């Protein structure tokens, strides 16, 4: 579904990605794990069109999307839940969700999508008219996920959805990701919380300072002694 | 006396507010101070004059024509002079804006001559007396038109799809584009709205003072910019409030006998407000984006 080939990206003189390649098959959850500063967010920003690679290909359903602007990438069916949630804090919960469906023309369809998000995140429903900036961190994360789902993406990119959340909520976010995947959305999950990410993913890649150093099934990665030592705290 | 000056001040202030909205909306989205905005207002006034004199159009149709022409010019200026500089340092588009401003002033001086041009009296000089206050028909029309335009703007921003996109983009440009919003289109639309309001302001000032000039955008633009900063740059209600506040202060100052300091009043106020409230009257506390 998504095939990244030899992707290079640097911020000015700072080299962030030095030729990474990986793929995401339809229907899977693929985890991309790595320490802070490894280049995980840069990878997702390149896929979503906010950054454009200096070289390399990002093929989505066989077509190179590396030069498309973000709104075209969304149109193609890829949606990003950005790092740090990035909800529109001066808009209400409901308005945030409506923004997520910006490309949908049918009011009925938008309404149905909102209902679906509210079914999944009942707490958002209670707070529908509240400004997003007044929500708790966990609620904002749910809103960011709900908002990304409003465009009905085929591929959902999630950038550290568990960051800064209480352990209970972390559990909840991962089970939500799993549910979203089971209802037919492919997920590329970026995490520092390797343990949780590997527990729901099928395949995984380990990123270190801009290069992929390990890849395999989630189980293989989870059992790799190096990974255990570096990321799973064993 | 007080009420009379208040009405006069609000009339003048509402034209400042119309111009200030363009500064604040553009700043809200691309953090650019569009120094050429005052010239759009000036061009609006000139298009208005041509429409009512050469083409003998009704003043309201002339207003509409001026707004349309200025939309085209304002959007083109953005495309030609700012858009190519979007990814460069913040200073580059600012300097480009100053260049556009000088270019448009000079161009209009070349076309219309360096002297003031009379704006024909298109509204009869009927006066209305309410108690001790005298209001001219022009003032009534300006107040009604300006209010209608500002209410219209609020409705667009609150309820229209593109208006919501504007709010989203002014809050978080990148995330807005992740929603599928074509931010280039939102920016064009913002320039279109701002230019239309400035043009309306230009025609109204022409009607009010019966005289326009190729350099009229300099002082009016600078004052309107002060109004926008005073109200809290980026804030739409702030620009409205700032404009009215400035108009009332200026007229009040003149009435109190400080006519010689007319233009200094705006800048003094700006300095005073910023000393006590650096983000402006309705400005949000500065948030750092991570
Ligand atoms: N806007 C930026 N400007 C310059 N360097 C950046 C910028 N964003 C990230 N970097 C650098 O790029 C590298 C990768 O960052 P990032 O992709 O954010 O890592 P991760 O998401 O894995 O923590 C880091 O060395 C970081 O310092
Ligand atoms: Mg990151």
B274: in domain:
no
The per-residue pLDDT for range B9-32, each reduced to its tens digit, is 999 999 999 999 999 999 999 999
Asked if residue B243 lies in contact with residue B18, where contact means CB atoms within 8 angstroms, the answer is: yes
Q: Stretch B195-219: mean pLDDT, rounded?
A: 96
B268: in domain:
no
- Quick one: three-class SS letters along chain A? CEEEEEEEEEECCEEEEEEEEEEECCCCEEEEECCCCCCHHHHHHHHHCCCCCCEEEEEECCEECCCCCHHHHHHHCEEEECCCCCCCCCCEHHHHHHHHCCCCCCHHHHHHHHHHHHHHCHHHHHCCCCEHHHCCHHHHHHHHHHHHHCCCCCEEEEECCCCCCCHHHHHHHHHHHHHHHHCCCEEEEEECCHHHHHHHCCEEEEEECCEEEEEEEHHHHHHCHHHHHHCCCC
B contact test, residue of A85, A99, A145, A150 with most B CBs within 10 A: A99
Task: Confirm or reject contact between A151 and chain B (CB < 8 A).
Answer: yes
The per-residue pLDDT for range A199-221, each reduced to its tens digit, is 999 999 999 999 999 999 999 99
Chain B residues whose CB is inside 8 A of the A100 CB are 179
Question: What pTM does this model have?
Answer: 0.91
Task: Confirm or reject contact between B87 and chain A (CB < 8 A).
Answer: no
Averaged pLDDT score across all residues of chain A: 94
Specify the number of domains making up chain B: 1
Residue from the list B171, B174, B180 with its beta carbon closest to the beta carbon of A75: B180
**Interface pTM (ipTM) of the complex?**
0.93
B152: in domain:
yes
Q: Do A48 and B171 touch (CB under 8 A)?
A: no
CA distance B244 to B15: 8
The per-residue pLDDT for range B62-103, each reduced to its tens digit, is 999 999 999 999 999 999 999 999 889 989 999 999 999 999
Structure tokens at A73: 């990438």
Nearest chain A alpha carbon to B290: A84
Structure tokens at B259: 């006519």
Asked if residue A121 lies in contact with residue A87, where contact means CB atoms within 8 angstroms, the answer is: no
B35: in domain:
yes
B97: in domain:
yes
B227: in domain:
no
Range of the domain at B56: 11-217
Locate the ligand 1 atom nearest the alpha carbon of residue A14 and give its number. 5
Domains parsed from chain A with CATH numbers: 2-231 (3.40.50.300)
Query: How close does chain B come to A100, measured CA to CA in Å?
Result: 5
B20: in domain:
yes
pLDDT value at position B290?
A: 40
Averaged pLDDT score across all residues of chain B: 93
């Amino acid at each position: 579904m998504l095939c990244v080939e030899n992707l290079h990206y640097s911020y000015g003189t700072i080299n962030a990605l030095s030729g990474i390649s990986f793929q995401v098959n339809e229907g899977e959850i693929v985890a991309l794990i790595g320490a802070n500063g490894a280049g995980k967010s840069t990878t997702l920003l390149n896929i979503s069109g906010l950054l454009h690679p200096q070289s390399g290909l990002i093929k989505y359903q066989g077509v190179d999307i590396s030069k498309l602007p973000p709104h075209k990438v969304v149109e193609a069916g890829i949606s990003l839940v950005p790092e740090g949630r990035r909800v529109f804090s001066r808009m209400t919960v409901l308005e945030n969700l409506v923004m997520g469906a910006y490309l949908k023309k049918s009011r009925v369809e938008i309404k149905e999508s909102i209902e679906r998000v509210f079914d999944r995140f009942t707490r958002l429903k209670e707070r529908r008219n509240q400004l997003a900036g007044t929500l708790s961190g966990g609620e904002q994360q749910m809103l960011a996920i709900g908002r990304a789902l409003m465009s009905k993406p085929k591929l959902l990119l999630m950038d550290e959805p568990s960051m800064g959340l209480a352990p209970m909520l972390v559990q909840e976010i991962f089970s939500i990701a799993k549910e979203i995947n089971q209802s037919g959305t492919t997920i590329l999950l970026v995490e520092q919380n390797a343990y949780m990410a590997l527990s729901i993913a099928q395949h995984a890649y380990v990123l270190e300072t801009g290069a992929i150093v390990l890849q395999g099934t989630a189980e293989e990665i989870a059992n790799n002694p190096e990974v255990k030592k570096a990321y799973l705290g064993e | 006396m007080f009420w009379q000056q208040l009405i006069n001040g609000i009339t003048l202030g509402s034209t400042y507010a119309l111009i200030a909205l363009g500064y604040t909306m553009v700043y809200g989205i691309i953090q650019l101070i569009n120094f050429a905005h005052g010239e759009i207002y000036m061009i609006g006034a000139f298009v208005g004059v041509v429409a009512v004199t050469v083409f003998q159009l009704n003043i309201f149709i002339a207003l509409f024509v001026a707004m349309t022409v200025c939309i085209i010019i304002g959007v083109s200026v953005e495309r030609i002079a700012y858009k190519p500089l979007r990814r460069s340092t913040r200073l580059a588009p600012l300097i480009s804006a100053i260049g556009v401003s000088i270019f448009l002033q000079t161009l209009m001086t070349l076309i219309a001559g360096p002297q003031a041009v009379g704006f024909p009296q298109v509204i009869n000089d009927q006066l209305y007396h309410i108690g001790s206050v005298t209001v001219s028909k022009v003032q009534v029309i300006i107040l009604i038109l300006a209010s209608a335009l500002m209410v219209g703007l609020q409705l667009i921003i609150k309820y229209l799809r593109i208006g919501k996109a504007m709010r989203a983009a002014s809050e978080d440009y990148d995330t807005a584009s992740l929603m599928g919003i074509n931010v280039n289109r939102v920016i064009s639309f913002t320039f279109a709205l701002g230019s239309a309001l400035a043009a309306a302001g230009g025609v109204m000032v022409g009607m009010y003072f019966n005289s326009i000039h190729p350099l009229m955008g300099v002082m009016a633009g600078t004052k309107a910019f002060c109004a926008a900063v005073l109200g809290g740059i980026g804030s739409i209600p702030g620009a409205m409030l700032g404009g009215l506040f400035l108009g009332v202060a200026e007229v009040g100052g003149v009435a109190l006998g400080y006519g010689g300091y007319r233009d200094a009043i705006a800048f003094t106020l700006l300095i005073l407000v910023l000393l006590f409230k650096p983000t402006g009257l309705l400005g949000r506390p500065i948030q750092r984006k991570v």
